[in-house]
Structure 1
Amino acid sequence: MVGGNAIRGTRIGAGPSGESERGETAPRRRVSYWCANGHESRPSFAMEAEVPEEWDCPRCGLPAGQDQDNPPAAPRTEPYKTHLAYVKERRSDADGEAILRDALERLRQRRQQV
């Protein structure tokens, strides 16, 4: 079929493409970061931007640093704690028994009133 769609392959509102329409891009610099798995990532930053000490590796998610020979260590992950584990950190067994005793006593009093 001859003639086809004139705007094929573009999105609506895209307008003309090119540097002249969008303006000049800011000068950039690439910085290398290495993670503990040896992955290198090279994000680009504006020349006047402050470069962070660490960057998350896009391949494995570990923190990456600028020193290839001494990358940052992987963060220590805490195991999942249940609600009961958090309660046991704050209260002793004796406190738990006292709270349970008070709650049962209130429940018994309510049942007697009905």
Structure 2
Amino acid sequence: MNVFFNQESPYHGIQYKHVPPNFFNITMTYRSDSDVIIPYDKLELIDKITKEDEIWTWKEVQEKVSKKTKLVLQLVSNCYTESKREVYATELAKYINITVYGKCNKRDCNKECENEEIG
């Protein structure tokens, strides 16, 4: 069995031009059409096995949102992307405040910083 395993976007993935057709018989990626899906993260439905303390009430959601003072937090280390996401972020920043941390602007943000920024 040959498994195609990849967590990167197609641009950053390994090129498989020299692999024979039908070489892989199972795929394992973040894509929803993979045989085995391994997402970075996901939303899950609340069901009978969801723990009570994992469910936010509407009041809790409203309280969290009401404390927010910033609209966008960007944690980025790849400054020049093939998709040009930095161009979109720069354009968006003309209209709303974007808080940016990471290598691109030399502002480190550890887990404590993240939690503080997220609120």
Larger radius of gyration: 1
Using the size of structure 1 for normalisation, the TM-score is: 0.22
Using the size of structure 2 for normalisation, the TM-score is: 0.21
